[in-house]
Amino acid sequence: MNNSPSETPALLIIDMVKDTFDERRNYPITALAKGIIEPIRRLAASFRAEGWPVVFATDAFKEGDFIFTGRMKPYSLEGTAGAEVIDELGRGEKDLWLPKPRFSAFFKTPLEGWLKDRNVTLCAVCGVTTPFCVLSTAIDAVCCDFKAVILEDCAAAASEKVHRQTLDNYRKSALYPLLRVAISGDFVAEISPSERFNGP
**CA–CA separation, 72 vs 17, rounded Å?**
16
Would you say the C-alpha torsion 42, 43, 49, 54 has a positive or negative sign?
A: negative
Q: Residue 6's pLDDT is what?
A: 64
**CA–CA separation, 28 vs 157, rounded Å?**
9
71-116 per-position pLDDT tens digit: 888 999 999 999 999 999 988 999 999 999 999 999 999 999 999 9
Query: Which is nearest to 30 in space by CA: 41, 45, 44, 15?
Result: 15
pLDDT above 80 for 3: no
Q: How confident is the model at residue 195 (pLDDT cuts 50, 70, 90)?
A: low
Q: Residue 7's pLDDT is what?
A: 81
Q: Residue 172's pLDDT is what?
A: 87
pLDDT above 90 for 8: yes
Residue 42 contacts residue 183 (beta carbons within 8 Å): no
Q: Residue 26's pLDDT is what?
A: 87
Q: Residue 4's pLDDT is what?
A: 45
Query: Which is nearest to 35 in space by CA: 126, 135, 96?
Result: 126
Angle at CA of residue 136, ends 68 and 129, nearest 5°: 65
Domain coordinates of the chain in residue numbers?
9-191
Please report which residue ranges of 15-110 form alpha helices under DSSP H. Answer: 29-34, 37-50
Fold of 9-191: Rossmann fold (3.40.50)
Q: What share of the chain is helix, strand, coil (3-state, %, to 5)?
A: 40, 20, 40
159-185 per-position pLDDT tens digit: 999 999 999 999 989 999 999 999 999
**CA–CA separation, 163 vs 42, rounded Å?**
21
pTM of the model: 0.92
Residue 153 dihedral angles phi and psi, to the nearest 5°: -85, 0
28-73 per-position pLDDT tens digit: 899 999 999 999 999 999 999 999 999 999 999 999 999 999 988 8
Q: Return the higher-pLDDT residue of 101 and 199.
A: 101
Q: Span 137-164, mean pLDDT?
A: 98
